[in-house]
Structure 1
Amino acid sequence: MSTEAFGSVTYSPPTMLQSKASSSKSDILNILENNMDRRTLFYFGKLFLESIKSGDKFQNLKRTITINLMNLNFLPLEPFHSTFHLYEDYRRDYMLTDLIELHFIEFPKFRAMQHNLHDPLHRWLLFMEENLTEEQLEELIQMDPMIKKPRSGWNESRKHFRFNQVAA
């Protein structure tokens, strides 16, 4: 992933799912599976609306990209990474706007496949894995020096965010 492709990106530490609906991991996964599309649209909508102030010109709306990193299989599609935009129903080659982009990255599907270290997305997803050895990390950094930059912040965030577990 090049920084030119995404422009300026603001990093904020990952947040933990907080739910009082149940103490069972399977129940929490069920809540996510049944509502992830709505949660995504809700938080995407807030970000999109915050990109301009009341009274601003609509031309000032900023492109908003939402990336869902999920430790569950959510979509009934084969690929681990699915991207959604707004297309015309009968002319799939016509995109209404590029201001809206939704990504779903499903880690169980990613973990089950052969990884390609020449693919920048694969390198970054491997970087996020909790069981990554120091040797593997150094290999990823050699291939993609940008990984070195967030390394310390990500390691600190891992103390508060378990990517390989769902909080019960």
Structure 2
Amino acid sequence: MMGDRSLLRNFIEKFMGTVRFGNDNFAAITGYGDYVQGNITIFHVYYVEGDDLLIGGRESNLYTISISDMATSSHVCLMSKATSTKSWLWHRRLSHLNFGTINDLTRLDLVDGLPKFKYGKDYLCFTCERGKSKKASHPPKMVPSDHSKLELIHMDLCGLMREA
């Protein structure tokens, strides 16, 4: 998604829904187009109207921002004010980190801007629940393989093996 419509080619103006940002603000997706940068084309890029809060660069898979350049151009406050009802907001901002670890980060003062209060969980996060769910690798057998008690069952548990 991007906020500069002039960089999108083959733009189609169509309401596509909304996007939710890390600070719980919403913005409308008002269309999509193709983003062309040199010989690379990214198709179906959403256009979202909004102000850029942070602009940074990427070098060797590390994203960096320049706080001094940003401070001179705008009045953006990076320190967030949160209450105990914002525990879930910080849970999402910290990539669904568990609440015990978030409380340790707060207690040991390891993260700048993380409000100091007791983070609590009052329900199970749907995203965390789906991330921890496991799919059965094989469907259960309807007919048993053994025909009598203490009969041997031969199974291949580790695939092909080379003999010495």
TM-score range (shorter-chain normalised) is under 0.3
Higher relative contact order (CA 8 A, sep 6+): 1
TM-score (norm 2): 0.23
> TM-score scaled to structure 1, two decimals?
0.22
Higher helix proportion, which one?
1
Larger radius of gyration: 2
